[in-house]
Structures are given as structure tokens and as C-alpha cells.
């Protein structure tokens, strides 16, 4: 017992020196992080730099861990510990450095995404090319994040001798294992392949307007396994990727955001069609949402009691054509009520001379 106590007291200077080096390395890393991001903040304010703002926002937390661990790893040769203690400390620092570096790489992907979004605006009028790019970049970003995390965890685990031996043994049964995993993860692999197909053939894109399962909405997110559709009433419809490969759906913005919409009116046979056609042109000419492409009125059906009028109107996108259709419908009805009230649907009854209904 006395010998152990004496041995421990003999190593007190080494322990204190190790703690001093570790704390000094951590403090040096934090100071370095503070200086770097202080400069970035000043650059972002002075030059309105998207890159500086994005790095400051996304990499600040990761750098607060990575830089101190990096400085500790650089100072590690100065640590006066015995070989076993030094090896344990080296392993801990190595694991932490790998994980924090991987976190920094993942956050760097957010910086790259900010730069792309700054360069290409999704809310522009003609954004077909941008939506193609964003759809591919979103899928590639998620794939890159998964690969970075997988490699980082693999590097940490493979640094253990036991795990390396286990991995070598598992390689001999990789064929059987791959078949078993293939059957077990058949749906997941199918979704992953569907994700690749959607990202590069692009039957749908980010911000596309779709009609799916009777619901109208915009593509909000595309992940490895599912698509999130933002419905017009703020609900979210979540569908597997395979749905868009295997089943039919409507894509209103596949080649262009421009759309043509129809407005139907039921009127009496006495309606002055030409007057309604002229009023339609006047309404559209005064409306800011009309894109001046389509403005026609046809009699599309003659029913037992009514005529069916169909007005075709066009606008720049789905939301605009919806608002334009509602406005045209309302103003045409108001026009008929004001100018030709007898042209609205009505029932006629013919009385005979004797006062009764005809037989």
C-alpha cells in the first residue's frame, strides 16, 4: 500500500503537467475559434458576405469543439504520461477529433446549400431550372451526410483491435449476409433506388405543384424514403418515393408553371353569348393575374334547361390561375345579374287557355 501511494505521489507532477497541457490546448482552441468567428462577423457586416454569414451561422458550434480538440491533439506529444496512459488519452482525443471533424463536414454542406440558394432564387417567376437543381442537390446533400456519418463511425470502430478482428471474420460470410440484408431491407433499397431515379430523371421536383390522391399541393421535401407534399390548407401529405414511380399523378409544373383554367357557367337559353364573351375580355384585360395568353368563351353543352358556357383563362402559375378563375366567375355572374337577369337559369311553365297545365 505504501509503495502504491509513493508511486502515485511520484507521478503527481506528470498528472498536473498533463492537465495543464490539456486545459491549455482547450483554451487555445477556444481563443482561436473566437478570433476566427469575430473576424468572420466583421466581414459579414462590412461586405454583406453570404459566405461569411453562412459559415458563422452553421460552423460556429462545430468549430467550438473541433478547434480545441485539434489543438489538444497537436500538443499531445508534450504530455508526460507513461505509455499505457498516453495511449488511452491518444485514443480519446483521436475519436473526438474524428467525430467533431465529421460534424464540421456535415455543417459545411449547409454552407454550400446557402451559397446555392443565394445564387439561384426558388421564388422567381420562371424557376424550372432552379427546381431541377434544388431537387438534385437536396438528395445529394442527404446522401453525403449519410456517407460522412457512416465513414466517421466506421473509422472510430475500426480503431479498436477487437472490432477489426470481428470485421475480418465477417468478410468471410459477406455473401450470405448480403442476401439476408437484401431480403430484409428490400423496401428500403427500393425506396433508395427510387430516390436516385427521382433526383436525376425528375418526374417531380422541389416546389412542383401536384395533384395526388385528390389533394392539391406543392412538393416541400424529398428524402431518401418519402416525399412531403404541402397541401393548400397547410396539411402535409407524406408519400413513399415508390408511389411516384409506380402510380399516376398530376404534375402541373412539369415543363412550365403556366396554366390554363376553366370557368363554367350554367345560363338560360336566352343568354347573349357574344356580350358575355366581350365582358370576359374586359375583365381579363383589367386583371393583373392574367398573362394575356388565353381568353376564350365557348358554349360547351346544351342541356334540357340550361346552356353551359366555358371560359378559358391563363395565368403564370397554379395559385394565380385559381385566383383568376374565382375572380372571373364572380364578375361574370355579377355582369349577368346586372345586365341580363333573365339569362340566369330559370324554370318555365306553360299554362293552357283553360288555366291548367298542358298534358
The reply to whether 104 falls in a domain is yes
Is 185 found in the same domain as 116? Answer: no
What gap in Å lies between CA 37 and CA 49, rounded to an integer? 13
Q: What is the pLDDT of residues 164-213, one digit of tens each?
A: 555 555 444 445 445 555 554 555 566 666 666 776 777 888 888 888 98
What gap in Å lies between CA 136 and CA 130, rounded to an integer? 10
The reply to whether 60 falls in a domain is yes
pLDDT of residue 152: 83
What gap in Å lies between CA 130 and CA 116, rounded to an integer? 10
pLDDT of residue 281: 93
Q: What is the CATH number of the domain that holds 247?
A: 2.30.30.60
Is 282 found in the same domain as 141? Answer: no
Look at residue 29 and tell me whether its pLDDT is greater than 60: yes
Is 27 found in the same domain as 115? Answer: yes
Is 307 found in the same domain as 235? Answer: no
Confidence tier at 6 by pLDDT (50, 70, 90)? very low
- Report the half-sphere exposure of 71 (CA within 13 A, side-chain side): 18
Residue range 145-159: mean pLDDT, rounded:
80
Among candidate residues 227, 255, 283, the one where a domain is terminated: 255
pLDDT of residue 53: 81
Q: What is the pLDDT of residues 242-301, one digit of tens each?
A: 888 888 888 887 777 788 889 999 999 989 999 999 999 999 999 999 988 899 999 999
For the entire predicted model, the pTM comes to 0.54
Residue range 36-61: mean pLDDT, rounded:
78
Is 326 found in the same domain as 218? Answer: no
The reply to whether 148 falls in a domain is yes
Domain region containing 74: 8-120+128-159
What DSSP string describes 100-164?
HHHHHHHHHHHHHHHHHHHHS-TTSSS-HHHHHHHHHHHHHHHHHHHHHHHHHHHHHHHTSHHHH
Higher pLDDT, residue 255 or 227: 227
Is 113 found in the same domain as 32? Answer: yes
Q: What is the CATH number of the domain that holds 296?
A: 3.30.70.100
pLDDT of residue 12: 54
Is 240 found in the same domain as 272? Answer: no
Q: Helix 83-119 vs helix 128-158: angle between axes, to the nearest 10 degrees?
A: 180
Is 154 found in the same domain as 18? Answer: yes
pLDDT of residue 189: 60
Look at residue 47 and tell me whether its pLDDT is greater than 80: no
The reply to whether 276 falls in a domain is yes
pLDDT of residue 336: 92
Is 26 found in the same domain as 133? Answer: yes
Among candidate residues 255, 277, 297, the one where a domain is terminated: 255
Is 150 found in the same domain as 46? Answer: yes
Higher pLDDT, residue 7 or 159: 159
Is 186 found in the same domain as 321? Answer: no
Among candidate residues 255, 270, 302, the one where a domain is terminated: 255
The average confidence (pLDDT) of the chain is 78
pLDDT of residue 169: 52
Q: What is the pLDDT of residues 99-141, one digit of tens each?
A: 888 888 888 888 888 877 777 765 655 566 676 677 777 777 8
pLDDT of residue 282: 93
Sheet of 307-315: strand order equals 259-267, 307-315, 290-302
Higher pLDDT, residue 46 or 74: 74
Look at residue 307 and tell me whether its pLDDT is greater than 80: yes
Higher pLDDT, residue 88 or 144: 144
Count how many domains the chain has.
Answer: 3
The reply to whether 187 falls in a domain is yes
What gap in Å lies between CA 72 and CA 176, rounded to an integer? 44
With CA atoms as reference, report the closest residue to 75 among 34, 10, 17, 31.
Answer: 17
Is 274 found in the same domain as 177? Answer: no
pLDDT of residue 265: 92
* Cell numbers for 85: 496512459
The reply to whether 1 falls in a domain is no
The reply to whether 353 falls in a domain is no
The reply to whether 352 falls in a domain is no
Look at residue 5 and tell me whether its pLDDT is greater than 50: no
Amino acid at each position: 500500500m505504501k509503495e502504491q501511494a509513493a508511486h502515485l505521489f511520484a507521478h503527481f507532477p506528470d498528472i498536473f503537467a498533463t492537465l495543464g497541457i490539456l486545459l491549455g490546448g482547450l483554451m487555445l482552441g477556444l481563443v482561436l475559434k473566437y478570433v476566427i468567428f469575430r473576424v468572420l462577423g466583421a466581414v459579414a457586416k462590412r461586405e454583406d458576405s453570404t459566405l461569411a454569414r453562412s459559415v458563422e451561422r452553421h460552423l460556429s458550434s462545430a468549430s467550438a469543439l473541433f478547434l480545441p480538440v485539434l489543438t489538444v491533439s497537436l500538443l499531445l506529444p508534450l504530455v508526460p504520461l507513461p505509455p499505457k496512459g498516453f495511449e488511452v488519452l491518444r485514443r480519446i482525443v483521436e475519436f473526438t477529433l474524428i467525430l467533431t471533424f465529421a460534424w464540421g463536414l456535415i455543417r459545411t454542406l449547409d454552407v454550400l446549400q446557402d451559397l446555392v440558394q443565394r445564387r439561384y432564387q426558388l421564388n422567381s417567376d420562371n424557376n424550372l431550372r432552379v427546381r431541377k437543381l434544388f431537387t438534385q442537390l437536396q438528395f445529394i446533400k442527404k446522401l453525403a451526410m449519410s456517407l460522412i456519418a457512416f465513414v466517421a463511425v466506421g473509422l472510430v470502430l475500426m480503431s479498436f483491435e477487437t472490432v477489426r478482428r470481428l470485421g475480418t471474420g465477417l468478410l468471410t460470410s459477406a455473401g450470405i449476409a448480403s442476401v439476408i440484408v437484401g431480403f430484409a431491407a428490400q423496401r428500403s433499397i427500393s425506396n433508395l433506388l427510387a430516390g436516385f431515379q427521382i433526383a436525376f430523371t425528375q418526374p417531380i421536383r422541389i416546389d412542383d405543384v401536384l395533384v395526388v390522391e385528390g389533394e392539391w399541393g406543392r412538393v416541400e421535401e424529398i428524402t431518401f424514403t418519402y416525399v412531403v407534399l404541402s397541401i393548400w390548407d397547410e396539411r402535409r401529405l407524406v408519400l413513399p418515393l415508390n408511389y411516384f414511380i409506380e402510380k399516376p399523378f398530376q404534375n402541373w409544373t412539369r415543363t412550365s408553371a403556366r396554366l390554363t383554367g376553366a370557368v363554367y357557367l350554367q345560363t338560360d337559353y336566352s343568354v347573349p353569348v357574344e356580350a358575355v364573351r366581350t365582358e370576359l375580355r374586359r375583365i381579363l384585360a383589367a386583371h393583373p393575374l392574367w398573362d394575356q395568353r388565353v381568353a376564350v368563351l365557348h358554349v360547351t353543352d346544351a342541356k334540357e334547361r340550361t346552356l353551359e358556357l366555358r371560359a378559358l383563362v391563363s395565368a403564370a402559375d397554379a395559385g394565380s390561375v385559381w385566383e383568376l378563375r374565382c375572380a372571373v366567375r364572380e364578375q361574370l355572374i355579377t355582369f349577368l345579374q346586372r345586365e341580363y337577369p333573365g339569362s340566369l337559369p330559370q324554370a318555365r311553365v306553360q299554362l293552357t287557355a283553360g288555366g291548367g297545365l298542358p298534358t
